[in-house]
Structure 1
Amino acid sequence: MELISSLIIVSAQTFEGKITDAQSHKSIPFVNISLKGTYNGTVSDANGNYKLKIPQGKDYTICFSYIGYQSKEIKQSLLKNNPNVALQPSLIPISEVVVMPDSTLRSFLRKAYDLIPKNYPDLPTSYQVFCRGGIQNGNEEYIRFNEVLLRAYKPSYHNKSDGTVEVLKTRKYRESEQSDDFRYFYYGGVHSIHNDDIIKNRSIFLEPHKDYNYKLVGQEHYNDRKVYVIAFKPKQGKKLRYKGKFYIDVKSLGYLKVELKPTDKWIEERYNDILGLHRDIKGKDFDFVVNYNILDSIFYYQSSYYKEKLVHKDSIYYLIDENVVTSMQKDSVQKIPFEQQTPISYVPTLEATEYAQSNWKDYATMPNAIEIDTIMAKELFNKPTPKPSKKEILIKILSRLDGAFGVTYFDYSMPASQINLSYKHHNFNKQLDVSSTVLNFETWMIYKLSPYHGIGYKTNASLSKSYHSKAGALYYNLRLPIKTVGKNVYGNISLGYSWRNFGQSLGTSNSDAEFKFGGKKFTADKVRAFTGLKQHGYETGFNLMVQLRTMLYLNVGANYFWANKTQETIYIKEAKGIFRTEANEALNQSDINYQIDGVDSTISGVINNNWGLSLGISICF
């Protein structure tokens, strides 16, 4: 059964409550809440509130678990009467307190790191995830947010391969009066269930590192299991970005929770981009928590929470991003088909349904981000759907673009010969050796109509003064997925119309007076001439894209060109200057005198062998 079917909850009973410390009565955030014997459930939010949907037809037992507290199990029938839950702190006897020297602690951390493949899923898993991300004002009230329901495919923890996601439902809310005051526009990343998985990504501070100090700072209990709390921070003088704590199960050495905080280095670099796009925004602090849960002795990703404090024009804002796994499938897991995968460029703010037009009563698994009273609801539902701004339209277009740059090798030939060219008062004489290659700098761009289909445009120009080469093509691109989990690999087949101008250099000539050539006026004191071809025709190609980083790919390809129109041509362009005039004329013009080895000719001698190779870097949004 596919995971998507679990989104349809028939006759579900909803429980909403708050989880607190039984002694201090303070709220407890990120408590794992599950239906006993399953991986279905949720977590409490940053304020201890929770929202849980339970299918009817059975009296489930609900489990509440949190590190440092005694776990609690409550029958569904009893929870209905009082959904608020108080957890008792678990006390560590003095006899259990452990002091661990640095060498022993590093050995302990090394074992925990090496046991990741054993303690975490060794086969692919599939998750149903509820995501929320947005901006809060200084009173911690949402002024805009996105909510997304998605399916996530996560490969084995034996390596760091990224997984894939499929967005199933999404909605957005924007409180216009306040949100307009904050220029930073939050878009949210639906791939954060993979990016936030510190254990699978083998973040640098997990493995005992010479640039970090580690210290055992406490012991806790979790479901009757002893847990060590280990703090880490950069050594003095080491400019690293993070510090935090690990919560490690002593028996299995599995990581149950990781907490991160920023260092001064992170605060210094945050929003300090080269273009200065965020120069009026300052990052001050953040809290990042990743939780894992245990099922049948295996640790699974459960939730992540990120809250960053920002200052913009002397006002405080909070950037929020949270993910909660509501169900998990670990048997006979199928990959998400390529055409259903949501790309890294997906922007919920642009694609989502307006909050007022959405109905999520059967789906939401976290407390509401905003409380809508009757008056506000009437205003929301009567408000017309806002038109997208120019910025939103631009970003939506850009998110469909792939860009690339690199070098292209064209194969052509010209036999060794003495070339003489005269045009008006200019004379060019050159002894040419056998030539057979052209190396160009190439850029290309593809607008994706769908995951498979796109329209592309590319241009290239010569990298050497020894030849003149300019070419372009407009083409259809078919993208074929070869590998879509981990480091992605794609094949691209293209077919389109191409135009090519290229020629061999005949040297330079001094110009004492201005002259016209090819309908253009030349005024420079020195010009360079080239002999070659001007062609139009059809081009087909194939290239292989291999992922290097999140949006960077290595591109290797080949192409073939069929000319349906060829003109033997002379090119002249100014030898100096930033903006150089250049033009071309057919070689058979009466005012052009062209000789090969002393024999008049209207044939340049250049032959296009029609094939080429390319190597470059693609940026795929």
Structure 2
Amino acid sequence: MPDSALRVLLKNAYKNITKNYPQKATYLTGFYREVNESIDSSRFNYFSESVFKTYKPPYTLAGAEYQGQVQVLKTRKIVHPTYEKNGVRFHGGPYLSIRGDRVLKRESIINPKSYRRYNYELEKITSYEGKPVYVVAFADKDSVFNGKIYIDKTDLAYLKIETFKQLDKKELKFIRLDYTETIIFDKKDDFWYLKYYKGVGNFKATKERFSLTAEYVTTSVDSDSVKVFSYDKQFNYVDVISRYESNTSDDFFNEYNSVIDQTQDLKKQIDLAFKTNVIDSLRRAVQSQDIDSTKTETKLPHSTEVNYFRKILSNLQLDWNLSYCPIQSFDANFDLNLNNTFYNNLHLTSVTKSNNLPIIFGVSWSYKLNRHWLITYQLGSSFKRFSNTSIKQNDIGLAYRLILNAARKPIIVESSIKYANVQYGVDFGGIDNPMKNIIIDKQKFNSKSILTGIYQQTEGIKLGVAGSIYSKKSKQLILSIDYMYPLNSSIPSFQIKEIGFFELFPSKVKISLDDSRLTMSHQSNLQLPKISSNFWFGLTYRVRL
């Protein structure tokens, strides 16, 4: 915990984020280098360079690190032949310009809510690149995680952050030994922008140790006419930059000589290492049969390489929702006799109440087709603790989503069109079927239990609007209103249906209320639940997987 004076300094720097850093979305164009080196064999596995454009959300936006986008413009790479046997891949590299920005993310080391986790010390007051700065050292109380925070003395802005983290924790099938990063910001037109990021991680996979260096430099900043990228141009976070095909010659990167010159010696060393090692590596690879004509790759199970399953999973959303459905119940007693159907004539009774609250608990799944469009599927059923009124619904359709007020507190607005099917009526309970050989109207019932009730169905089109009343990162609380236009409604019927965990296609029989085998008072028919309105209301808790 920092002392009082240092605490005030850190709090003021944190408070000034919304003033010192861009308050609206910006484009950052930058140069990115990724190098993978085998520590034990002194061999470079791959070396890639890219130029990409980043859509960076405003620093005032909560959860901004999840809203940013990257568009890769050009890329080139050199891959060592024997690298194909190493199944470890690192995804999301270009997103370091967004997710590596500890200020944008309000990381714990600068967030007042987490001060108790760290020890802070004002190390010195000095100058950095001609600017007077406070240098604050920090260290995690419970792990080997430490570093320094450079705070500009004039603006109280974060100018530079250095961190070091050492791990002994197994992550999947490889171990991350340590990770060092440097983040630098620069001031332009009254705002501070990300200028430079460098991360160096040392890892161990099976018996091999290797080092991954990711380096990013911003070459230009644009804050005019900033819009999100179209879906087909976005670099997916789970994509792997080392898997991208080279789409340019060295001539293109000549435009970035001013950037490359900063690390030109490194590039020469890498090129030289490739030239001197390729022939020897090929010879060793052929002798050990590490490479064959099919270039089979041995993959580490559950490694971080990109895969289609993970891409699909990242577009899935899971919702839990409560819906108020306009089903009206009555204070009614139902008395029903069914003859010449089961072994014995059945006498069934049920009760409904007018004060029954028609609430449906449902689960829905959504799949994001692109930035705005989603496919949704929902199913749900009512609580039957206080009444035998039964309500079940399922719907499927399309939703269109917009994010408003993104610069401050984001508001999610959705419109939807869905096909809906609603079943409602009265449950009469279950009947035991110990012999498992009852045949009713040519349908054989094999399960031990049979459910009975009087139900009817309404099919229709639901038009809906929804808006978030709470939104944070990957979780939202959403209020919705739907209008259901009925297309078809069935007449009530007495239904007999199998129930059982293993009954994938349960037998089901509908018996008309006018059937001679069934007797029930006419008054009871008039007291069956019915739809009283076309408007539905819902409250949804959404989680992105």
Give the corresponding residue for 1:183.
87
Among residues 241, 246, 252, which one is paired with 1:355 in the alignment?
A: 246
Per-residue deviation, residues 347-406 of structure 1 (Å, max 9, x unmatched): 443898511666743565446876487999xx9xxx99999x997344444454444333
Among residues 103, 107, 120, which one is paired with 1:199 in the alignment?
A: 103
Alignment partners' CA distance in 2, 1:409 and 1:172? 56
Letter in 1 for 2:196: S
- When normalised by structure 1's length, the TM-score is 0.67
Among residues 119, 129, 135, which one is paired with 1:213 in the alignment?
A: 119
Give the corresponding residue for 1:494.
416
Q: Does 1:552 align with 2:458?
A: no
TM-superposed CA distance for 1:262, in Å, is 2.0
Counterparts in 2 of 1:186 and 1:550: CA distance versus 1, 3 Å: farther
Among residues 354, 357, 362, which one is paired with 1:441 in the alignment?
A: 362
Alignment partners' CA distance in 1, 2:35 and 2:531? 56
Where does 1:219-298 land on structure 2 (aligned, <5 Å)?
A: 220-235=126-141, 239=142, 242-262=145-165, 267-268=168-169, 271=171, 278=172, 280-295=173-188
Counterparts in 2 of 1:135 and 1:615: CA distance versus 1, 3 Å: farther
Q: Does 1:149 align with 2:52?
A: yes
Per-residue deviation, residues 316-356 of structure 1 (Å, max 9, x unmatched): 133444332111245xx333147479779544438985116
Alignment partners' CA distance in 1, 2:374 and 2:239? 22
- When normalised by structure 2's length, the TM-score is 0.75
Contact 1:117 1:158 in 2 (8 A): no
Counterparts in 2 of 1:257 and 1:442: CA distance versus 1, 3 Å: same
Contact 2:137 2:147 in 1 (8 A): yes
Contact 1:569 1:604 in 2 (8 A): no
Counterparts in 2 of 1:549 and 1:104: CA distance versus 1, 3 Å: closer
Give the corresponding residue for 1:300.
193
TM-superposed CA distance for 1:476, in Å, is 2.7
Among residues 314, 336, 349, which one is paired with 2:227 in the alignment?
A: 336
Q: Does 1:611 align with 2:535?
A: yes
Contact 1:189 1:347 in 2 (8 A): no
Letter in 2 for 1:335: V
Contact 1:406 1:614 in 2 (8 A): yes
TM-superposed CA distance for 1:581, in Å, is 7.7
Among residues 443, 457, 460, which one is paired with 1:537 in the alignment?
A: 460
Contact 1:594 1:602 in 2 (8 A): no
Give the corresponding residue for 1:588.
512
Alignment partners' CA distance in 1, 2:441 and 2:177? 62
Alignment partners' CA distance in 2, 1:305 and 1:218? 24
Contact 2:35 2:44 in 1 (8 A): no
Q: Does 1:566 align with 2:489?
A: yes
Alignment partners' CA distance in 2, 1:161 and 1:463? 39
Per-residue deviation, residues 519-574 of structure 1 (Å, max 9, x unmatched): 75445555432222133332222222467343333332222323323222434456
Among residues 435, 446, 451, which one is paired with 1:528 in the alignment?
A: 451
SS in 2 for 1:201: coil
Contact 1:428 1:509 in 2 (8 A): no
TM-superposed CA distance for 1:313, in Å, is 0.9
* Percent identical: 18
SS in 1 for 2:326: strand
Letter in 1 for 2:225: Q
Give the corresponding residue for 1:410.
325
Where does 1:388-399 land on structure 2 (aligned, <5 Å)?
A: 392-399=307-314
Where does 1:21-60 land on structure 2 (aligned, <5 Å)?
A: none
Give the corresponding residue for 2:399.
477
Give the corresponding residue for 1:40.
none
Deviates more, 1:486-495 or 1:350-359: 350-359
Give the corresponding residue for 2:286.
none
Alignment partners' CA distance in 2, 1:121 and 1:294? 11
Structure 1 residue runs of 5 or longer lacking an equivalent are 1-100, 272-277
SS in 2 for 1:355: coil
Give the corresponding residue for 1:30.
none
Alignment partners' CA distance in 2, 1:351 and 1:536? 51
Alignment partners' CA distance in 1, 2:186 and 2:276? 39
TM-superposed CA distance for 1:437, in Å, is 0.8
TM-superposed CA distance for 1:190, in Å, is 4.4
Contact 1:282 1:312 in 2 (8 A): yes
Contact 2:50 2:72 in 1 (8 A): no
Q: Does 1:599 align with 2:492?
A: no
Alignment partners' CA distance in 2, 1:467 and 1:170? 62
Q: Higher relative contact order at CA 8 Å, sep ≥6: structure 1 or structure 2?
A: 2
Counterparts in 2 of 1:339 and 1:582: CA distance versus 1, 3 Å: same
Alignment partners' CA distance in 2, 1:407 and 1:344? 36
SS in 1 for 2:488: strand
Compare the two structures and name the one with the higher helix fraction.
2
Where does 1:343-382 land on structure 2 (aligned, <5 Å)?
A: 345-349=236-240, 353-355=244-246, 360-361=252-253, 364=256, 365-366=259-260, 371=271
Q: Number of aligned pairs?
A: 498
TM-superposed CA distance for 1:194, in Å, is 2.9
Alignment partners' CA distance in 2, 1:581 and 1:158? 49
Alignment partners' CA distance in 2, 1:117 and 1:483? 16
Q: Does 1:508 align with 2:430?
A: yes
Alignment partners' CA distance in 1, 2:51 and 2:527? 63
Q: Does 1:430 align with 2:334?
A: no
Give the corresponding residue for 2:288.
none
Contact 2:54 2:97 in 1 (8 A): no
SS in 2 for 1:198: coil
TM-superposed CA distance for 1:299, in Å, is 3.5
Give the corresponding residue for 2:287.
none
Contact 2:447 2:503 in 1 (8 A): no
Per-residue deviation, residues 489-522 of structure 1 (Å, max 9, x unmatched): 3322222323333433223344454324587544
Contact 1:289 1:305 in 2 (8 A): yes
